[in-house]
């Protein structure tokens, strides 16, 4: 039998989380947050030999609206860190105040309210994860670490590193792009040569949940009661 093609999976953590478990998804999707990344990849990509799973994220800050978010994320990161093929790559997360113009609530398209009015808003931003994903994707490609790259994201900022990997005039390796969002693939990422486009599948998420309790060197890891 011919060996299965080697693959590395690149999870854009925030894009994946908000696409699968927030957005307009149903409660069935939101119930799958305690995801076993290894089991999911085996379920979703059986044709490939998954040699590594890279998970890119940043540690979030608690907010008055969701004070437990930091602890829930920390518990999940501990859980997936027990999986042998998973490596976690952390960027930074910042919470700051910015001035923004108000939108016209009656307009179908993004339109400034008239008269123009600015307000101060709280902005939460993850920094560095997309650059880190792009760097590892290109570096792994040129190190011949995979036959196929699997990228789970719908972030158009990843256009150039995906193009470098997939374009026949560059590295010329196949890329499988999995959109975690219910809406269509970002326009800049559509119809790239050498790229296959897949949708996220609910039953694959449901079949790949971690046990409620795990252990690492620091003790017991417990699935959060609420998310």
In the chain, ranges of CATH 3.40.50.1010 domains: 6-91+128-222
Give the whole-angstrom CA distance, residue 155 versus residue 129.
11
Length of the chain counted residue by residue: 227
pLDDT, tens digit, 9 for 90 and up, residues 21-62:
986 789 999 999 999 999 999 999 999 999 999 999 999 888
Q: How many CB atoms lie within 10 A of CB 196?
A: 13
- The pLDDT of residue 165: 98
Give the whole-angstrom CA distance, residue 189 versus residue 199.
14
Sign, CA torsion 170/171/176/181: negative
Give the whole-angstrom CA distance, residue 27 versus residue 117.
36
The fold of the 6-91+128-222 domain, in CATH, is Rossmann fold (3.40.50)
pLDDT, tens digit, 9 for 90 and up, residues 84-102:
999 999 987 667 678 888 8
Below-50 pLDDT ranges, the chain: none
- The pLDDT of residue 80: 98
- The pLDDT of residue 114: 86
- The pLDDT of residue 162: 98
Residue 129 CB contacts under 8 Å (≥ 6 apart), including other chains: 12, 13, 14, 56, 57, 58, 89, 91
Whether the Cβ atoms of residue 13 and residue 33 lie closer than 8 Å to each other = no
């Amino acid at each position: 039998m011919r060996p299965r093609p080697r693959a590395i999976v690149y999870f854009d953590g925030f894009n994946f989380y908000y696409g699968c478990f927030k957005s307009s998804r149903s409660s069935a999707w939101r119930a799958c947050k305690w995801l076993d990344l290894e089991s999911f990849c085996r379920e979703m990509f059986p044709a490939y030999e998954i040699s590594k799973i890279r998970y890119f994220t940043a540690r979030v800050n608690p907010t008055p609206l969701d004070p437990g978010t930091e602890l829930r994320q920390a518990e999940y990161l501990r859980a997936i860190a027990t999986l042998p093929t998973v490596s976690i790559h952390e960027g930074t997360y910042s919470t700051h105040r910015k001035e923004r113009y108000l939108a016209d609530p009656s307009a179908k398209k993004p339109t400034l309210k008239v008269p123009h009015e600015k307000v101060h808003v709280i902005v939460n931003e993850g920094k560095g994860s997309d650059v880190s994903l792009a760097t590892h994707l290109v570096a792994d490609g040129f190190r011949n670490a995979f036959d196929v790259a699997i990228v789970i994201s719908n972030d158009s900022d990843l256009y150039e590193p995906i193009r470098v990997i997939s374009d026949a005039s560059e590295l010329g390796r196949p890329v499988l792009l999995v959109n975690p969002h219910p809406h269509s693939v970002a326009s800049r990422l559509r119809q790239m040569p050498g790229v296959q486009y897949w949708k996220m599948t609910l039953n694959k998420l449901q079949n790949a949940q971690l046990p409620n309790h795990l252990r690492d060197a620091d003790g017991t890891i417990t699935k959060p009661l609420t998310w």
